[in-house]
Amino acid sequence: MSRHRTPRRLVAAGVALGVLVSGGVVATAAPAQAASVPAAERYAPTRLPDRITLTPGTDPTTQQVVSWRSSTVVTEAVVEYRTLTAEPYPGGVLRTIAQERAEQTTDLGYTQAVHTATLTGLQPDVAYMYRVGDGTNFSEWQDFETAAAGNDRFSFVYLGDIQNGILSDASRVIRNAFRDRPNADLVLQIGDLVNDANSDQQWGELYDAFSYTLGTQNILTTPGNHEYEGVLSDQWQGQFRYPDSGPQGEGGVYDELDGTVYYTDHQGVRFISLNSNVVDTEGLRVQAEWLDGVLTDNPQEWTVVYFHHPVFSLDEGRNNLGIRQSWGPILEEHNVDLVLTGHDHAYGRGNLSSNEENLPAGADPELSHTGPVYVTSSVGSKFYDAGPRHWNENGAHLRRLVTGMQTYQVVDVASGTLRFESRTADGAFLDGFTITKSGGQKLVVDGVEPQEIDPGTPSPCLGCTPNPDPDPIDPGEEVPDPAYTYEPTKDLASVNRSNASLPAGVAYHEARDVLYLGDQNSRTIFEMDPDNDTVLRSMTLPENIRDLGIDEERELLYVGQQNRNWVVVSIADDTFGQVVRGSYPIIESNRSLDVDPVNDYVYVAVPARGVEVFRASTGESLGVINGTADAYYVAADPATGMIVTTKFFTVEGAIGIQAFDPKAGFAKVWERAVRPGARQLDIDSERGLVYIGYTGTSATSGGFSIHDLATGKMYNDMVGPQFGKDGYGIAVDEEAQRVFVANRDFRLNPPGQELTAAAVTISTRLGDGEEPGEGPGEPGEGPGEPGEVPHDYVASPLTAIPSAETALEPEIRPVGTAVDPANGHLFVGDEMRPARIHEVDPATDKVVKVLSVPTADPVQDGIRDIAYDAANDHLYVGYGNNWLVMDAGTGALVRGPYAFSGGVRGLDIDAEGGRVFGAVRGGGFDVADATTGELVQTVAGPADSTPWRTHGVAYDSANDLVYISNSDAAGSTEGVRVYQGSDYALVKRLELANADFRSIAVDGEAGVVVVGHQTSDFDKSGVSLFAASDLTLIERLEEYRYGDKVYGVSLDPQRHLLYVSARDRYPTALIKVQLPTE
């Protein structure tokens, strides 16, 4: 029987028509308000698999990687698969056990398991069907197709930032993209899949938005800044597994890039992912060298490079200088086809202007060019203003610009032709171009008419008559001046995550000794007593807060607000919190503000345009100071009238600070390069000093530097998060010589590194020539004071390997050490390439010799740890997954290399028993035969699932015990484990939360165990000494004088010495500690 069904829309229309004809009214009861489903319930994992994701294997023609999520009750996950068939109950099904399983504790309170399986032995260009599960509970059957071995035509989808409105808004864009190209082989996404890196609700929304498509098409993605919260999101790392084709090496930068920088080839296209979040000097260099290599050795017809931050930013307040300088020339030299990015929440496309010259005969000069095409796009519902400034200023032509529009892109690839189209959320054509290659020539031809892009109306220019001598004083060599030395003295925790969200601008009231702290996202300004760490009172403003300036005489705060305006509020007792003047509009989005009440100026740093100048009394805009574009922060000196700005660059050697004189027509007085990450600044008018605060959380970032206001000369640089961690604000107490740094994330990033929230870090200047702890009111004043140095543990810095203040080429990063008991010399392993060991004579503080370690590739290998066999004068060296034995005198290879079961972090030997112990980051350690290299045993840790990652290992020959130490294991409850050397039975544990024991040494006869703390936090660094008998604490030698980020500790029992190596050479590379003689 057939049944006629009227379309649903037509039925609805008929009902409406009937109501209108009859003149009646349809009355309906108001629907009851339904309760929302809690995210923790909606997105909780079960036995049933979800979040199924395909990523390419090392060879996409014969391999397929699939990842999925389940609850943790699933311990053995499987994939069933076979070639695609129409049969409903097919036979011939193959089964593979998932090779990887990772557990993730989420912000919603549940723990989930992510399983990853690699299917191998597949046939090229063949469709397969598969399902995943626990052997009983499976997903639906889905299908994929392996890549063809040749350059067969195919399509892929390119998506920009998703991030906001993931399920509500972005999902329709994604659906339309796959409606347009339902048979696309790949979906390429350039980062910021979510807004909050570790929000499992947002990751759940993302997979809902993609529906089943990530289980049928391979996804190529690269992390955006929103995939990071100090460290890369666990969800990102677990769900997206890519070929191990990225930069290879040892060291922190390689760990950061691992899994995010890679390439994969698909049917004639080489797809290359870079990580534009790792763009410090070393990160840029390592990626640039690797990129040049994979482009040089590239047999594919087409090349697509993708990363998050654009080469030419559309947001005119952002300037990705390091990326443009480091990667841009390589992309052009190799004539890459597409460079796909995001981050700026707008659509833009263009090319270098020079690629519009010398076109092939017959090419339309209005529509054609050669070279790479640079594209930025956005999927989500968050939008920024955009413009052509960074294109125009860098010899590039922005051909197409569209703001406030969600888009997706489809790319069709065939031999000799690549067609690119951008479409709006409803599928309408927006932009397009075609690249053709023939006879060794390449041509890009637009599919749309040329667009005239408005560069915007410039504001009146202040200082446009340039200073003929903008740097009249040569400061000479900038040697740190000990008169400008500071010591961290206090963290303020009365403002924390319970009452604030993002500490930003600060201002200090000298007369009242109070600090004002603006919290950006809660719109609150706190008045704080820094001496007693209390909040005295607070005010809430209408908009988010960027920065503060203070007029003490009139009891006023000048407040820069995020929505392009500034206001003046009262801090007087009877009118506290009242808006006195404003709001006054700012030309574009601002970052910083300061006031010069003496000369009646307000200065606002607008990165897209420069420093806008206002009359403080009226709010009138006077113009923009010439040459200040990209200025992020600004400070004014009422005493001289001078203003100073910083440019927030992450590039070594870039101009980061400039000074201007309003009394000379805002002429530029001087400019200087400073270390990367310069952000906030303040001026000490009494002494003529400029203080610059820096972002970053590593040992070589954060903190602040001190400069001469008249010349810009640097007096000292207090590097490291102990002086302020990821600073978003800085203020100076001129009278007490204290520096206040507002810590953007309350010192809590990276997660787990610190556990106590603190909005502000205070550092105090030491007197001229005073040592830390000796000044009046400083730590160490009186017995038992925090920071007091025990007299039996005198720390002396060794200078044989210079401190971080000295740039070294090649770089040196001291890690594991070992002592020669005969002469007291110290062998120091170097983590940086080439593989080296430095022999230091502590008595003379000189390097005796440098030994090249005879690895298979010393240029690429770096050392993790070393041990010394005094009887044979042999050094045992751990590196990568390997170890070897070398002659300590000549550096000649004695035997090896031999393999451990995984990447080694620590190494020690039982010279008499002929055993080598390797810490390989699991729960236990490896035991190898010292003569043959045979792996005798891998000692597993306890089966209690306690978070543990072995980093250090030490052998107690006097008592035949093996000690291992724990670090980098979030939520850990143990710091040290001790095993019997005869049968490797666990005999002791040191219970300690969140241990950071990177290195360990033991003196069995003296009964002392020493651990080195990996952290770079001021009051948590250094070393700790424990009693070997029961692991009770003997002494905690904290603070940076005992080492910062300690990667090596070794004992010289004969001379009662402890040696500490600080990986980042801060405050010094090596430290000698005199131990008690009893």
Can you give the CATH number for the domain in which 989 is found? 2.130.10.10
Residue 453 domain-assigned (yes or no) = no
Q: In what order do the strands lie in the sheet with 1023-1027?
A: 997-1003, 1008-1013, 1023-1027, 1033-1037
For residue 818, tell me if it sits in a domain.
yes
The verdict on residue 37 lying in a domain is no
Is residue 974 located within the same domain as residue 1056?
yes
Q: List beta partners, residue 772.
A: none
**What confidence tens digit (pLDDT) does each residue in 446-456 have?**
999 999 888 87
Model confidence over 510-520: pLDDT tens digits? 999 999 999 99
Q: Is residue 272 pLDDT above 60, yes or no?
A: yes
Specify the pLDDT at position 1019. 65
> Which has more confidence, 753 or 252?
252
More confident residue, 581 or 10: 581
What pTM was estimated for this model as a whole? 0.69
Per the domain annotation, does 776 fall within a domain?
A: no
For residue 625, the model assigns a pLDDT of: 95
User: Would you state the pLDDT for residue 785?
Assistant: 37
User: Residue 121: pLDDT band by 50, 70, 90 thresholds?
Assistant: very high
Question: What pLDDT sits at residue 230?
Answer: 85
Q: Report whether pLDDT(557) > 60.
A: yes
Give the range of the structural domain holding residue 414, as residue numbers without chain letter.
150-446
Domain-located, residue 1013: yes
Confidence at residue 945, expressed as pLDDT on a 0 to 100 scale? 67
Tokens found for residue 235: 């969800």
- In the chain, what is the greatest distance between 2 CA atoms, to the nearest angstrom? 109
User: Does the residue 6 lie in any domain?
Assistant: no
Do 106 and 179 lie in one domain? The reply is no
User: For residue 316, what pLDDT is reported?
Assistant: 86
- Nearest in space to 260 (alpha carbons), one of 271, 275, 244: 275
Average pLDDT over residues 101-127: 96
Whether the pLDDT of residue 916 is over 80: the answer is yes
Q: 40-60 pLDDT, tens per residue?
A: 999 999 999 999 999 999 999
Reported as a single tens digit per residue, the pLDDT across 475-496 is: 455 667 778 999 999 999 999 9
CATH of the domain at 92: 2.60.40.380
The answer to whether the beta carbons of residues 659 and 671 sit under 8 Å apart is yes
Query: Which one of 149, 177, 207 terminates a domain?
Result: 149
pLDDT recorded at residue 775: 35
DSSP sequence for 124-142:
TT-EEEEEEESSSSB---E
Q: How many domains does the chain have?
A: 4
User: Which percentage of the chain shows pLDDT scores above 70?
Assistant: 93
Same domain, 896 and 1003: yes
- Whether 321 and 338 share a structural domain: yes
Query: Is the confidence at residue 781, as pLDDT, over 60?
Result: no
Q: What is the pLDDT of residues 58-97, one digit of tens each?
A: 999 999 999 999 999 999 999 999 999 998 888 999 999 9
Q: Say if residue 232 is in the same domain as residue 326.
A: yes
Picking from 111, 126, 149, the residue at the C-terminal end of a domain is 149
The last residue of one of the domains, among 128, 149, 170, is: 149
One domain, residues 105 and 157: no
Query: Rounded mean pLDDT of 7-14?
Result: 35
Residue-wise pLDDT tens digits, 654-704: 899 999 999 999 999 999 999 999 999 999 999 999 999 999 888 889 999
pLDDT of res. 651: 82
- pLDDT value at 4 more than 50: no
| Across 898-927, average pLDDT | 91
Residue 848 has pLDDT above 90, yes or no: yes
Write a three-state SS string for 198-236. CCHHHHHHHHHHHCCHHHCCEEEECCCHHHEECEECHHH
Q: 239 by DSSP, 3-state: which?
A: helix
Calculate the average pLDDT of the chain: 90
Same domain, 176 and 308: yes
pLDDT score, position 1018: 59
Q: Is the pLDDT of residue 634 over 90?
A: yes
Is a pLDDT exceeding 60 seen at residue 12?
A: no
Which pLDDT value is given to residue 151? 94
Same domain, 130 and 163: no
Residues 949 and 996 in one domain: yes
Mean pLDDT of 107-133: 97
pLDDT of residue 653: 83
Q: Give all strands of the β-sheet with 874-879 in edge-to-edge order.
A: 865-869, 874-879, 882-887, 893-899
Q: State pLDDT tens for residues 850-867.
A: 999 999 887 778 899 999
Cross-strand partners of 96: 79
901 pLDDT more than 90: no
> Is 586 or 804 the better-scoring residue by pLDDT?
586
pLDDT at 523 over 70: yes
Please report the pLDDT score of residue 669 as a whole number.
94
Together in a domain, 824 and 960: yes
Contacts of 352 (CB under 8 A, 6+ apart): 332, 371, 372, 395, 396, 397
pLDDT at 16: 37
**pLDDT for position 163:** 93
Looking at residue 454, what is its pLDDT?
84
pLDDT for 793: 86
Tell me, yes or no, whether 369 and 236 share the same domain.
Answer: yes
How much is the average pLDDT of 547-554? Answer: 95
Q: Which residues have CB under 8 Å from 148's CB, separation 6+?
A: 61, 124, 125, 267
SS3 label, residue 317: coil
Whether residues 799 and 938 fall in one domain: yes
User: Tens of pLDDT along 700-714?
Assistant: 899 999 999 999 999
Q: Is residue 534 part of a domain?
A: yes
Q: What is the pLDDT of residue 767?
A: 66
Least trusted range by pLDDT, from 426-440, 903-917, 1017-1031: 1017-1031
Whether residue 1054 has pLDDT greater than 50: yes
Residue 922 has pLDDT above 90, yes or no: no
pLDDT band at 32 (very low <50, low <70, confident <90, very high): low
pLDDT of residue 15: 35
Q: What is the mean pLDDT of residues 745-764?
A: 88
Q: Is the dihedral of CA 851, 853, 859, 860 positive or negative?
A: negative
In this predicted structure, what is the pLDDT of residue 1078? 65
Residue range 388-447, pLDDT digits in tens: 999 999 999 999 999 999 999 999 999 999 999 999 999 999 999 999 999 889 999 999
Evaluate whether residue 772 is within a structural domain.
no
Of 403-417, 979-993, 1007-1021, the poorest mean pLDDT is in 1007-1021
